């Protein structure tokens, strides 16, 4: 999650270009970084501006019920 007081420009082509320059380092470790991030770059980012109706959110991360630690597969 990224937050800002100003709109953040989302440029998948710029991200792919930067990763392509480092791809050989990832491939040396057996990681195809471009394939790994493709699902995130091939969709529009989810934007929550001040006018967004947060009452419709049902999957909220809270201190009592943290969702960020669960569902991550260990290698």
- Joined together, the tokens standing for residue 34 give 């471009």
Q: Using a cut of 0.75, tell me whether the model's pTM lies above it.
A: no
Residue 71 pLDDT? 56
Region of 45 please: left (phi>0), alpha (psi -120 to 50) or beta: beta
The three-class DSSP label of residue 75 is: coil
- Joined together, the tokens standing for residue 5 give 């007081």
The residues spanned by each domain of the chain are: 12-46
Residue 12 pLDDT? 93
The mean pLDDT values, 10 residues at a time, for the chain of 75 residues are 80 93 93 93 84 80 66 53
Per-residue pLDDT of 56-72, as tens digits, reads 877 777 777 666 655 55
C-alpha separations of 34 from 7, 8, 19, 26, 38 in Å: 25, 22, 7, 9, 6
């Amino acid at each position: 999650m990224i937050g800002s007081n100003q709109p953040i420009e989302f440029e998948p082509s710029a991200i792919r270009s930067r990763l392509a320059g480092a791809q050989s380092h990832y491939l040396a470790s057996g990681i195809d970084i471009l394939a790994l991030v493709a699902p995130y770059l091939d969709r529009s980012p989810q934007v929550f501006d001040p006018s967004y109706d947060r009452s419709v959110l049902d999957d909220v991360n809270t201190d009592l019920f943290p969702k960020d630690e669960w569902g991550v597969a260990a290698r």
